[in-house]
Structure 1
Amino acid sequence: MKSDLNDISTVVPLAAGQCLRLRVAAGTVLRAGAGELEVTGPPQWLADTCHVPQRRLRAGDTWIVPARGWLVVSASRAGALSVTAPPGWLPRLKAWLALSWRRAGAARQPVSGQIPDPAPERL
């Protein structure tokens, strides 16, 4: 049985001309499922100059993000992008919190009830 805690992969369909901004951790795996995608970022400092690397991913190409930061993914042709977060305690904690929040849906509703009187009045 597959656990929700280990499934940190997301597939994002992109139409031609669509742009997506992502904040990713170092070690995140990007895979172009279809189409042609251009990945820009994350920004890096090189000798007092901000350099923003660009990479083109065609169907089936995979790239591992070397540093954390923001990426811009643009689709020149319609395609799909698979984003897999690196293993680690923080992504698992986020997945676990999201899972427990979804499961506790009905429990989040306030329940009205009478407050018991700890010292009833004697006559």
Structure 2
Amino acid sequence: MPSDLDDTPTMMPVPAGQALRLHVAAGTVLHAAAGELVLAGPMQWLAGHCHMPRRRVRAGDTWIVPARGWLTVSAIRGGALSVTVPPGWLARLRARLVLPWHRPRPAARPAPLRIPDPARQRR
């Protein structure tokens, strides 16, 4: 799994008939690059009962994980899953702490010029 510091996609091959368990964060993007996969999870509580939602993804389908938790990826036909983790708290903190001299400075204000009033000089 990628760390909190990068959000580059990781390609995970899943052979036919095999399953893969992943712990995913909310906002993780899953893209089926090839094959046909069944995603089960993350678990949800509905009316006091544990529910494990399932969805089938085919090559080219994308799904964004709504909540963090464990996800089981099963391959109906051999496939590959691209996992892109959203940036973690450390990457967001680094983005906020960018040093001030790295930010573009606002343009300097022009100095106001006094234009002489010709009407006053005629008196």
TM-score by length of 1: 0.67
CA distance change for structure 1 residues 88 and 7 in 2, over 3 Å: closer, same or farther? closer
Residue number in structure 2 paired with 1:30: 30
Q: What are structure 1's unaligned runs of at least 5 residues?
A: 94-123
Counterparts of 1:92 and 1:64, CA distance in 2? 20
Matches of 1:92 and 1:17, distance apart in 2: 38
CA offset at residue 9 of structure 1?
1.7
Mapping of residues 40-79 of structure 1, within 5 Å: 40-79=40-79
Within-5 A mapping of 1:1-123: 5-90=5-90
For residues 18 and 91 of structure 1, the distance between their equivalents in structure 2, rounded to whole angstroms, comes to 34
Distance 1:71 1:16 in 2: 17
Q: Once the two structures are superposed, what CA deviation does each residue of 1:3-60 show, in whole Å capped at 9, x if it has no partner?
A: xx53432101111001000000000000000000000000000110001000100000
Which blocks of at least 5 consecutive residues in structure 2 are unaligned?
A: 94-123
When residues 90 and 23 of structure 1 are mapped into structure 2, their CA distance, relative to the original with a 3 A threshold, is farther
- Whether the aligned pair in 2 keeps the contact of 1:85 and 1:91 (CA below 8 Å) is no
User: 2:46 is matched by which residue type in structure 1?
Assistant: L
* RMSD, matched Cα: 1.8
Q: CA offsets per residue over residues 75-101 of structure 1, 9 Å max, x none?
A: 0001100000012334789xxxxxxxx
Which residue identity is paired with 1:79?
G
